[in-house]
């Protein structure tokens, strides 16, 4: 695990495992993941569907489905929160530790006005009066650049566009000045021009707020514009953990290099083929023999098929889980 | 479609209550089918030496006899046969009519749907009893008629359920894909709509069987249903009601059998719904 | 009746003045274009652009208010349903939700058999099975897949199944409605490459609808850009990406995140660089004049008064904008970004 100075990491995950009990037996979604997020740091988590990237944080937030079990340690600001009782967790969730999801429509209550939903957060977590809370709600909408904020407070979710709703969700998660905001595929459901606007909102927040951020996506391009550090996950494990600039200039893990090629790029001269990864990602629960990525890896050898590479430091701030990492 | 039933089947087996209920139903049905042959008596034989006799092993009247000396074991099980037959036949009628009607109304939509639902609303407004009495009076009494008329009334709710489900299925992309592929309306309804409404249909059917049996029992209790010498559980209960103080078993035996059967069917139906529901939403 | 701004030879499909209304709201207004045999036309637009409405109206899956769709001499919108159903053999579609477009109660084999059952009912069961297995292999799935159910497959695999189903009868036109939008970026290329291969092999024309310009760039010969129900630009692929004429097209190009361009440390001020501020309006707001003027950085008086018509920029390039000439000469960061070679 990397130490960033002496300060307590905002989030420290250690040896996290998440398994689901399903018909055929237990299925592993997350196998031994460790990571840290320092205060005010932005961590990008990249992986395909089934990599476990969302499950790590669902476990951290206590949002696993009924048949999910998490083990290991998750420390938020030094306090252990994995397995914390719901009452204690509810005090932290939504105020100090917030999460926004891919589909803002399902996170907002359809029959309550936007203003009410926003104000409720402050009334519940900070004991504000409704009047003060509504005022603060209007201010937060301004902060996330929602045009005509006073009008929006009186509207219902269905009256807002997708991008607007996502801004409201971001606003809602900022109301109590959280120490950590987790954004899970915040732009995947949005149009391309709206995506860049939402990313701009998040980028501004990075610099204004004394807040750490975790940005989860299957698209390295989305994460690259914002993250300080990037973690790449595959089949429930971390395969690369490095500063963003490192990852973008010289990826160490073959999987990361391939993901980089898949980032939509308007300047690529080779048009005959659209870059992609072959086959499909190893999903949750599939058995690992050797390196999980070996079947799709252009550099795989016998060693890779037999022995799973451990995550180890390649140099100061870079960790890779590969027998044959790409040399810079 | 066999692969699709594996998971719900497993869930059902895991539901202890439903499994027990299923076991009871199987036992009761087997008794009804096989039982009468085990007894030396038949439904009409009058045993004057054992009138209103207590249940016992000695005289081979295991459930006792009624006021006329007829063996209750045989009569009860035969009555169960009748009740089950009504349940099955009437359910089959209401199922086939209800599913077809509901799927067509739901898929075609628009004016056709409105008209078809209006018809259902009108029919729902008519009291069941009068309708059955009316039919019986006009067409005379026959067992088949009884079964069919009960089923003919029971399809209304099934049609509503199927229509509702069809309306939501109609929005789904695979229906659009089928239209885009050039499938005819009939083909879409039969191959795409109906297989996807089966879940609620099966559940509702298992829950209607007890309702239908009960309804028939009620009709028979009133004297409108099965005629002598055959009896259904309902007529037996009617006869037993009059003897409640003197010979309680004449009421308790058929009454108990009916109650146990209905209870088990209801529990089984609930179990089926739980097993299938998770599949529906999964 | 307005004709397509860009002339195409040997057109298989000619759409003229297609309009669709949902009540008072115009989802599609006066859309015209052509498509030639074996050609791929990319249709780009965001939510509310009407692109999905166009796909459905084209195939008469939803009713159109006006217009004609000439397909090999038949107007799909006014012909009788028997003729329409016959034409469907050559007009197939794949959808945005790969799993949702497959009947959950049918095996993959049954789903692929259906087009054959409808249009080649005389085919023997063994031959039908052979064709199904052949197509499964052709799209990169194992033969055994025929026995399984859609929910047992991943999103990318389900989309392959949908493509296999659509290609069973070797259609002349394949309409693809956002076929890769719900897939991971790493898998999108598999589907796009598969479509390109199939086009090579079977000569199928493709109408590829997407909000993602980068994907459209790989697969299209020509591109249409739509906004709020109208076509705002139409060009050959290279011309569109090298010299976009319409401000909205520029905005779309600017919006593609470029990891090598903006380092994480520098904050970009929102809305400043983007030619298009805000978002398309929700609901039936129908501004007078140009539909894009409320978001357009370059809008002027005339944009409010008059709806711009599609005018030719060059031989294969048309744009609906009053100010395109002025913009063509102004320096634009997008232009240089598109021409720069990618760093090694």
Whole-angstrom distance, CA of residue C327 vs CA of residue C338: 16
Q: Do A276 and C269 touch (CB under 8 A)?
A: no
pLDDT recorded at residue C251: 86
- Which chains does C contact via 3+ CB–CB distances below 8 A? A, B
B166 contacts chain C (CB < 8 A): no
Kindly report, residue by residue over B11-48, the tens digit of the pLDDT.
788 888 889 998 998 998 888 888 878 877 777 777 77
Across the interface, which of C154, C259, C270 has its CB nearest the CB of A280? C154
Per-residue pLDDT, C130: 95
CB contacts < 8 A (A, C): 162
In this prediction, residue C6 carries a pLDDT of 53
DSSP state of A296: G
Closest chain B residue to C57, measured at CA: B180
Contacts 24+ apart (CB under 8 A), B250-256: B250/B52, B250/B64, B250/B66, B250/B67, B250/B72, B253/B55, B253/B63, B253/B64, B253/B72, B253/B76, B254/B72, B254/B75, B254/B76, B254/B79
State residue C295's pLDDT score.
Answer: 79
Residues from chain C that touch B198, judged by Cβ atoms under 8 A, are 105
DSSP symbols for C150-195: GGGS-HHHHHHHHHHHHHTT--SEEEEESTTTTS-HHHHHHHHHHH
Q: Which residues of C touch B177 (CB under 8 A)?
A: 93, 95, 101-102, 162, 165
Greatest CA separation found in chain B? 77
Nearest of C106, B77, B213 to residue B205 by alpha carbon: B213
Whether residue A80 lies within 8 A of chain C, CB to CB, comes out as: no
Residues of chain B found within 8 Å of residue C103, distances taken between Cβ atoms: 174, 178, 191-192, 195-196
Indicate yes or no: CB of A193 within 8 angstroms of CB of C46.
yes
Nearest to B82 by CA among B33, B129, B128, B136: B33
Helices then strands (H, E): number in chain C?
A: 12, 12
Q: Which of B182, B192, B282 sits opposite C103 (nearest CB)?
A: B192
Residue-level pLDDT, tens digit, chain A, 328 residues = 444 556 789 999 999 999 998 877 888 899 999 999 999 899 999 999 889 999 999 999 988 888 899 999 999 998 999 988 888 898 888 889 999 998 887 888 989 999 999 999 999 888 999 999 999 999 999 988 888 899 999 999 988 888 889 999 999 999 988 999 999 999 887 888 888 888 888 888 887 878 999 999 998 888 888 899 999 999 999 999 999 988 888 889 999 999 988 887 777 766 778 888 888 877 666 777 888 899 889 888 999 989 899 999 988 889 999 999 887 6
Distances (CA, A) of B119 to A156, B123, B160, C311: 38, 6, 11, 57
| Positions in chain C whose pLDDT score sits under 70 | 1-10, 258-287, 330-344
Nearest-CA residue of chain B relative to C94?
B177
Chain A neighbours (≥3 Cβ pairs under 8 A) are: C
Which percentage of chain A shows pLDDT scores above 70? Answer: 96
Provide the pLDDT for residue C340: 25
Give the mean model confidence (pLDDT) for residues B77-96: 85
Q: Quick: pLDDT tens for B230-268.
A: 788 888 888 888 888 888 888 888 888 889 988 998 888
The whole-chain average pLDDT of chain A stands at 88
Residues 283-312 of A with CB under 8 A from C: 283
Q: Which of B1, B181, B192 faces C118 most closely, judged by CB atoms?
A: B181
- Comparing CA positions, the residue from A215, A261, A250 lying closest to residue A320 is A250
% of residues, chain B, pLDDT over 70: 94
**Structural domain boundaries in chain B:** 2-281
Rounded Cα distance, A181 and A274, in Å: 34
HSE value, Cβ hemisphere, 13 Å, CA-based, for A20: 19
Token look-up 């500063």 returns: A243
Query: For residue C341, what pLDDT is reported?
Result: 30
Chain C residues whose CB is inside 8 A of the B172 CB are: 100
Look at the block and give the residue holding tokens 């407070």: A153
Contact B196 C103 (CB under 8 A): yes
CB contact under 8 A, B192 and C149: no
B179 touches C at CB < 8 Å: yes
Nearest CB to A218: which of C185, C189, C283? C185
Q: Smallest Cβ distance to A276: which of C189, C252, C283?
A: C189
As a dihedral over the C-alpha atoms of residue A144, residue A146, residue A183, residue A229, rounded to 10 degrees, the angle is: -40
| Residue numbers of C between 118 and 157 with CB closer than 8 Å to A | 154-157
- Average pLDDT score over chain B: 82
Answer whether A262 sits within 8 Å of C342, measured CB to CB.
Answer: no
Chain B residues whose CB is inside 8 A of the C96 CB are 173
**Dihedral sign from CA coordinates of C24, C26, C32, C34:** negative
Q: Report CA-CA distances (Å) from C161 to A278, B78, C100, C157.
A: 17, 54, 12, 6
- Which residue among C61, C119, C149 places its CB closest to the CB of B180? C61
pLDDT at A204: 86
Q: Determine the distance in angstroms separating the CA of C301 from the nearest CA of chain B, rounded to an integer.
A: 43
Alpha-carbon span C327 to C334, nearest angstrom = 12
Chain C: nearest CA to A211, how far in angstroms?
A: 15
Nearest alpha carbon to residue A9 among A35, A44, A46: A35
Please tell me if residue A265 touches chain C, with a CB cutoff of 8 Å.
yes
Of B174, B180, B198, the CB nearest to C103: B174
Q: How far is C126 from chain A (nearest CA, A)?
A: 30
CATH superfamily of B2-281: MetI-like (1.10.3720.10)
CB-CB under 8 Å, C102 with B174? yes
Give contacts of A42 with chain C, Cβ < 8 Å. 264
Residue C129: predicted pLDDT: 94
Q: Does residue C142 sit at the B interface (CB-CB below 8 Å)?
A: no
The closest CB to that of C270, out of A197, A274, A277, belongs to A197
From CA C204, how far away is CA C197, in angstroms rounded?
Answer: 10
Interface touch C92/B180, C-beta < 8 Å:
yes
Partner-chain residue, chosen from B4, B179, B183, that has the shortest CB–CB distance to C105: B4
**In chain C, which residue's Cα lies nearest the Cα of A247?**
C259
What are the tens digits of pLDDT across the range C137-188? 999 999 999 999 998 899 999 999 999 999 999 999 999 999 999 899 889 9
Phi-psi map region of C283: left, alpha, beta (phi>0 left; psi -120 to 50 alpha)? left
Q: What is the pLDDT of residue C8?
A: 52
Which residue has tokens 């944009």? C303
* Interface check C101 vs B, CB under 8 A: yes
Mutate to test the interface with C, among B181, B184, B279 (most CBs of C within 10 A): B181
């Amino acid at each position: 695990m990397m130490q960033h100075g002496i300060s307590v990491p905002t989030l420290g995950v250690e040896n996290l495992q998440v398994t689901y009990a399903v018909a055929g037996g237990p299925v592993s979604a997350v196998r031994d993941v460790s990571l840290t997020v320092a205060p005010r740091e932005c961590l990008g988590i990249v992986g395909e569907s089934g990599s476990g990237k969302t499950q790590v944080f669902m476990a951290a937030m206590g949002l696993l489905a009924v048949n999910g079990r998490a083990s290991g340690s998750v420390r938020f600001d030094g306090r252990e929160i994995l397995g914390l009782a719901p009452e204690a967790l509810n005090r932290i969730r939504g105020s100090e530790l917030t999460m926004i999801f891919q589909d803002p429509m399902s996170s907002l209550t359809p029959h309550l006005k936007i203003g009410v939903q926003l104000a409720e957060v402050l009334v519940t977590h900070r004991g504000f009066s409704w009047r003060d809370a509504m005022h603060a709600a209007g201010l937060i909408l301004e902060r996330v650049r929602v045009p005509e904020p006073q009008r929006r407070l009186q509207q219902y979710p269905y009256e807002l566009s997708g991008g607007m709703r996502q801004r409201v969700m971001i606003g809602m998660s900022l109301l109590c000045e959280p120490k950590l905001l987790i954004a899970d595929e915040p732009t995947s459901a949005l149009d391309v021009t709206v995506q860049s606007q939402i990313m701009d909102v998040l980028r501004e927040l990075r610099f204004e707020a004394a807040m750490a951020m975790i940005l989860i996506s299957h698209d390295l391009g989305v994460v690259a514009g914002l993250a300080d550090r990037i973690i790449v996950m595959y089949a429930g494990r971390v395969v690369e953990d490095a500063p963003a600039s490192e990852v973008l200039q010289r990826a160490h893990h073959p999987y990361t290099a391939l993901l980089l090629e898949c980032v939509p790029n308007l300047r690529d001269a080779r048009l005959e083929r659209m870059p992609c990864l072959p086959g499909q990602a190893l999903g949750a629960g599939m058995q690992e023999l050797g390196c999980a990525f070996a079947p799709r890896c252009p550099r795989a050898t016998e060693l890779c098929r037999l022995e799973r590479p451990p995550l180890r430091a390649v140099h100061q701030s870079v960790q890779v889980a590969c027998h044959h990492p790409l040399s810079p | 479609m066999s692969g699709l039933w594996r998971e719900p089947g497993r869930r059902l087996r895991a539901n202890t209550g439903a499994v027990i209920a299923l076991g009871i139903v199987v036992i009761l049905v087997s008794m009804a089918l096989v039982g009468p042959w085990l007894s030396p008596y038949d439904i009409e034989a009058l045993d004057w030496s054992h009138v209103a006799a207590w249940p016992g092993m000695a005289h081979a009247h295991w459930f006792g006899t009624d006021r006329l000396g007829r063996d209750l074991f045989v009569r009860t099980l035969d009555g169960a046969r009748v009740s089950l037959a009504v349940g099955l036949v009437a359910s089959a009628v209401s199922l086939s009519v209800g599913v077809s009607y509901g799927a067509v109304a739901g898929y075609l939509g628009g004016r056709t749907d409105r008209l078809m639902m209006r018809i259902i609303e009108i029919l729902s407004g008519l009291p069941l009893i009068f309708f059955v009495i009316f039919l019986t009076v006009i067409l005379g009494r026959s067992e088949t008629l009884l079964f069919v008329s009960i089923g003919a009334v029971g399809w209304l709710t099934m049609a509503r359920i199927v229509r509702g489900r069809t309306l939501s299925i109609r929005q789904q992309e695979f229906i659009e894909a089928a239209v885009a592929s050039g499938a005819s309306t009939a083909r879409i309804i039969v191959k795409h709509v109906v297989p996807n409404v089966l879940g609620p249909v099966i559940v509702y059917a298992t829950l209607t069987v007890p309702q239908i049996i009960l309804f028939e029992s009620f009709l028979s209790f009133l004297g409108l249903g099965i005629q002598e010498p055959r009896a259904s559980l309902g007529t037996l209960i009617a006869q037993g009601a009059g003897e409640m103080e003197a010979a309680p078993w004449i009421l308790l035996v058929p009454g108990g059998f009916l109650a146990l059967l209905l209870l088990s069917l209801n529990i089984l139906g609930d179990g089926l719904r739980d097993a299938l529901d998770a599949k529906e939403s999964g | 009746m307005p004709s397509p701004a860009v002339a195409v030879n040997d057109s298989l499909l000619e759409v003229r003045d297609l309009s669709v209304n949902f009540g008072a709201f115009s989802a599609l207004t006066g859309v015209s274009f052509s498509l030639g045999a074996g050609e791929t036309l990319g249709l780009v637009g965001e939510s509310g652009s009407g692109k999905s409405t166009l796909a459905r109206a084209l195939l008469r899956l939803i009713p159109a208010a006006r217009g004609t769709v000439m397909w090999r001499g038949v107007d799909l919108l006014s012909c009788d349903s028997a003729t329409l159903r016959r034409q469907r053999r050559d007009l197939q579609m794949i959808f945005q939700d790969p799993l949702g477009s497959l009947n959950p109660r049918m095996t993959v084999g049954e789903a692929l058999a259906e087009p054959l059952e409808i249009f080649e009912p005389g085919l023997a069961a063994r031959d039908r099975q052979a064709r199904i297995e052949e197509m499964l292999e052709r799209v990169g799935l194992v033969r055994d897949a025929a026995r399984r159910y859609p929910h047992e497959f991943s999103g990318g695999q389900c989309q392959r199944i949908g493509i296999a189903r659509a290609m069973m009868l070797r259609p002349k036109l394949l309409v693809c409605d956002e076929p890769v939008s719900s897939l991971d970026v790493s898998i999108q290329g598999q589907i796009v490459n598969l479509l390109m291969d199939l086009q090579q092999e079977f000569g199928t024309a493709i109408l590829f609808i997407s909000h993602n310009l980068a994907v459209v760039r790989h697969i299209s010969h020509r591109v249409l850009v739509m906004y709020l129900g109208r076509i705002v630009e139409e060009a050959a692929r290279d011309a569109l990406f090298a010299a976009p004429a319409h401000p909205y097209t520029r905005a779309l190009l600017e919006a593609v995140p470029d990891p090598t361009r903006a380092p994480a440390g520098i904050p970009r001020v929102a809305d400043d660089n983007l030619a298009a501020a805000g978002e398309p309006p929700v609901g039936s707001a129908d501004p007078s004049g140009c539909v894009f003027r409320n978001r357009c950085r370059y809008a002027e008086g005339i944009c409010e008064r008059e709806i711009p018509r599609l005018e030719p920029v060059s031989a294969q390039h048309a744009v609906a904008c009053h100010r395109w000439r002025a913009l063509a000469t102004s320096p634009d960061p997008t232009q240089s970004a598109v021409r720069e070679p990618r760093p090694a």
